[in-house]
Structure 1
Amino acid sequence: MDAFKNPSSTASDIAHFIQLYSSPTILSIILSAVVVVAVLSLHTSQHQSSLKIPPGNLGFPLIGETRQFLKALRSETPQQFFDERVKKFGPVFKTSITGHPTVVLCGPAGNRLILSNEGKLVQMSWPDSFMKLFGKDSIGAKSGEEHRILRSALARFLGPQALQRYMPKMSLEIQRHINEKWVGETQVKMLPLLRELVFAIATTLFIDLRDESVRRRFYHLLETVLLGVMSIPLDFPGTRYRRACEARAEIDEILYSLIENRRAMLSSGMVSSDDDLLSVLITFKDERGNSFTEKEILDNFHGILHASYETTVSTLSLLFKLLSSNPECYEKVVQEQMGILSIKGDGEDISWKDLKEMKYTWQAIQETMRLIPPGFGTFRKAITDIHYEGYIIPKGWKLLWTSYSTNVKEEYFSEPEKFMPSRFADEGRNVAPYTFIPFAAGLRICPGWEFSKTEILLFVHHFVKTFSSFTAIDPNEKVSADPFPPLPRNGFPVKLFPRS
């Protein structure tokens, strides 16, 4: 899988775009679009002029401050985008990201307002460019009753009862991958191997895809889509965003074929309705007996695939990077895992109950997500004028809460730059509400967070069982995102020491 190369950077996309579209005709089209935006802005200015809108800078028409936002996410200090504006404007400020005027609320109070008022003051509303790739019929785009029905369907696959049922298959996939790709190697790059593993688990448990050539093509297309999600949304030939749209369309063609084949297998009784995510989506019926359309199946498959893939890869690779720099913490993880292994019989696999005993390991995972969040936050849309901190956020504007406004702030976490898993002891009771919310909260809490937790804990268990220790080749390897999630820049090469 690591043989695939990433598409060119956004900088080259922009250069290519300028070269291709510098003709007077194209420039006039772009200028016309800017004029249209200006006219629409004037149309609403009378209403907004009477409102005390939060201070800030909307940037250039159409583009806004998207370039600065993406540049920050790609840097080693992504929080700088928010910190600079908080210092200048305060914890409530306006900006414009991916073509939408957006108010950013920083701090626990802002997080609470956005995450606890779904359907009352706000509703989930990712930028249009996101949803073109994730799918407008996915759970991330739905609200109200439609959102409730989708959560009910996905719980059949992502809920605790379902997890216990197919956890042995996940465990077997992880052990097989370690035996085939890691054992016997004195040095590996963890990041590409973890990408391959997480993708293999997804294709096995989500769609039971076994054709190796199709899997390799699927993998390449998935990576292409992910690179385009947070690119500047220029939908022109040669740009990263256009390549992502084309990759999404090709993935859909593969899935259409799989859906047709799966329907036939379900009808013949060759598979059951809960064998994998695809079967669950195909067979689900709501209280009125309505099934999902093919587009709803496709879009929700994409939504769960993206959410489970990129954030899990990020957290896993950064967990081991941080543990390599904090050997005393890694030793505690090892002791916990070996304690679980010591009471297992020969050939006895890990159980759901064993996962519940991995308390310190889970604390280390949480501390990783606090120090280096796998996501910057999520967007909402105001469904009414919102009064907050003396300002009014106009109806229709985007809102954004961000983990960067709390996770590494001294007012919420002592010694915030230090890797200290014990701060999450006692089930995190000492962590103030709405200061650490890696999976969001409220009605929109990530439906797959327990799936991701199970996957990471199982990998740590099998890694410790197989290797006595590891060391980073470059302890000072930088972490950056393109533009998210954050990842070790050079693939995190390590030396492996097998357990005798």
Structure 2
Amino acid sequence: MEALTLSWILAMAALCVFLALVWRLRLPPSMNLPPGRMGWPLVGETLEYLATRPIGVPQPFIAKRVARYGSIFKTHLFGCPTIVTTDPDFNRFVLANEGKLFQSSYPAGVDRVLGKFSMVQASGELHKRMRALTVSFMQAQSLKDNFLQTIQARVISLLSTWEGRVVKIQDEAQSLSFDCIVGHVLGMDPGAENTKTIKEDFFNLVYGLTIPLRIPGTRYWTAMKGRQNIVRLVEQMVAERTTKPCTARKDFLQQLLQDDNGKNLTLEQISDFIVFMLFAAHDTTATAMTMAIKYLLANPQALNQLQEEHLEIRRNKRSPDEPLEWNDYLQMTFTQHVINETLRLTNVLTSAHRIALQDVQTEEGYVIPKGWKVVSSWTTIHLNPKLYAEPLEFNPWRWKTQSVKYFTPFSGGPRFCTGSELARLEIALLLHFIITKYSLHPAEDDEAVYFGTVKMRKGLPVTVTKLSQIL
């Protein structure tokens, strides 16, 4: 028995040595790679990279390596040799050279959940066609004509249920954001039974963007089941609209089926496109809504100035319930400062993932080998004291003069988010109707953490009082 145990130990030791040797042989010979380490065989340093961390502070994994190796270092993440860059100018270079030196390439888990034809993964001519469709759908005129009044109505309807309750802002923001986007993308009524079903599937999908272990019971397995259900629904809707066309519809799916850029898309491409649209228009917006309220509740001076801006807009309306117009939205200057500061501190999108299409040399003389992944960290740049004074402080006034050169909450280059203005509009409208009609107070202490996505541990519970009751 002892001999058998010893043999097993020796065999395992030999396997570990073999894997370590293979691991080192994977590094390109005679290349001036950035400094760093590749971590353990197979898993690399992925687990430390994904570790839960607080929001509003530099990511420990990256901060520790920047202190040791500098602004560009090598590592091994998600099964791939990777270069991480926190250099502001090199990050801009990476984003600007999309399709030339670099190409979008996210971890396999993201690829499978959002789909291989999502805008995250699509490239070349397909990406150009998809981008043209989203630009057309979300241009300023469309926001003014089709989105402004619809979003207002949904915000007012949601807030009417808050009075006298303890509500979890995170849950309410997610519900609002989803109801808005599912209506605009698929033309679905938020109160309909099939909308409630797809909402549950969608949230399972969002929460499952984590380590891709497709084992029953894991978050990833649940996410893939949710994706399958959403895709099945989209395919049914496409079949119905193809057999019974209705040009009166104004949702994105209808535009996709009618537009020349969308007509030649396959059913799989359409399904992936829709899944991505739902995800992209929901996650950043809902999280930013939640975090904006969190920061404002902790900063009375900012809250008071924001409230005064919105009360002034209300004073200029003919009646207390008169809907906002586009010009009212354009007057929300300090609101945009608050949104910018929320996005800077929260970093809903922490980084951009690319793959090198050829060997690329940095100004420092380092070489990024062809086929290696490149992770451009935005969190580190948005919290860089050389770019932002007192970067860990919530200071919306900084945006009166702050440069936006290195500000990338919605990515940049050819992949700049076409829904950025829609997100800003939804956040601004929610803040407007909250602070002109209600007073919020924290019901419990809470904190924000990052594990795959930004979350409040308790959902940010607040007590809600109607303003007329406290004036």
37 and 175 in structure 1: CA distance in 2 versus 1, 3 angstrom threshold: farther
Match of 1:15 in 2: none
262 and 165 in structure 1: CA distance in 2 versus 1, 3 angstrom threshold: farther
The one-letter code of the counterpart of 1:497 is T
Match of 2:336 in 1: 362
Deviates more, 1:255-264 or 1:121-130: 255-264
Q: Deviations over 1:186-235 (max 9, x none)?
A: 43221111111111112221112236332222122112111221x22223
Asked if structure 1 preserves the Cα contact closer than 8 Å seen for 2:54 and 2:448, the reply is no
Kindly report which structure 2 residues correspond to 1:298-317, keeping only aligned pairs within 5 A, or say none.
Answer: 298-317=271-290
**Amino-acid identity (%):** 29
129 and 36 in structure 1: CA distance in 2 versus 1, 3 angstrom threshold: farther
In the aligned structure 1, how far is the partner of 2:155 from the partner of 2:55? 32
Match of 2:292 in 1: 319
Residue 37 of structure 1: how far off its partner (Å): 11
1:493 paired with 2:457, answer no
TM-score, scaled relative to structure 2: 0.90
1:431 paired with 2:403, answer yes
Secondary structure (helix, strand or coil) at the match of 2:408 reads coil
Residue 422 of structure 1: how far off its partner (Å): 0.9
Match of 2:5 in 1: none
Secondary structure (helix, strand or coil) at the match of 1:120 reads coil
Residue 260 of structure 1: how far off its partner (Å): 2.1
Kindly report which structure 2 residues correspond to 1:370-409, keeping only aligned pairs within 5 A, or say none.
Answer: 370-388=344-362, 389-409=364-384
Match of 1:463 in 2: 434
Q: Deviations over 1:427-473 (max 9, x none)?
A: xx532621x21111111101111111111111111212321x22212
Match of 2:446 in 1: 477
Residue 412 of structure 1: how far off its partner (Å): 1.2
Match of 2:32 in 1: 52
In the aligned structure 2, how far is the partner of 1:344 from the partner of 1:38? 72
Which of 159, 175, 186 is 1:207 aligned to? Answer: 186
Secondary structure (helix, strand or coil) at the match of 2:172 reads helix
73 and 245 in structure 1: CA distance in 2 versus 1, 3 angstrom threshold: farther
Match of 1:237 in 2: 216
Kindly report which structure 2 residues correspond to 1:183-198, keeping only aligned pairs within 5 A, or say none.
Answer: 184-198=163-177
37 and 307 in structure 1: CA distance in 2 versus 1, 3 angstrom threshold: farther
Match of 2:258 in 1: 283
Asked if structure 1 preserves the Cα contact closer than 8 Å seen for 2:108 and 2:212, the reply is no
1:441 paired with 2:421, answer no
In the aligned structure 1, how far is the partner of 2:55 from the partner of 2:216? 27
In the aligned structure 2, how far is the partner of 1:75 from the partner of 1:456? 19
129 and 41 in structure 1: CA distance in 2 versus 1, 3 angstrom threshold: farther
Residue 72 of structure 1: how far off its partner (Å): 4.2
Number of equivalent positions = 451
Kindly report which structure 2 residues correspond to 1:56-67, keeping only aligned pairs within 5 A, or say none.
Answer: 56-67=36-47
Gaps of 5+ in 1: 1-27
Asked if structure 2 preserves the Cα contact closer than 8 Å seen for 1:76 and 1:478, the reply is no
In the aligned structure 2, how far is the partner of 1:98 from the partner of 1:350? 46
Secondary structure (helix, strand or coil) at the match of 1:142 reads coil
Residue 239 of structure 1: how far off its partner (Å): 2.7
Q: Spell out structure 1 runs of 4+ moving beyond 6 A.
A: 34-41
Match of 2:151 in 1: 170
Secondary structure (helix, strand or coil) at the match of 1:419 reads coil
223 and 278 in structure 1: CA distance in 2 versus 1, 3 angstrom threshold: same
In the aligned structure 2, how far is the partner of 1:154 from the partner of 1:268? 20
Q: CA RMSD in A?
A: 2.4
Asked if structure 2 preserves the Cα contact closer than 8 Å seen for 1:66 and 1:232, the reply is no
The one-letter code of the counterpart of 1:133 is V
Match of 2:310 in 1: 337
Asked if structure 2 preserves the Cα contact closer than 8 Å seen for 1:55 and 1:93, the reply is yes
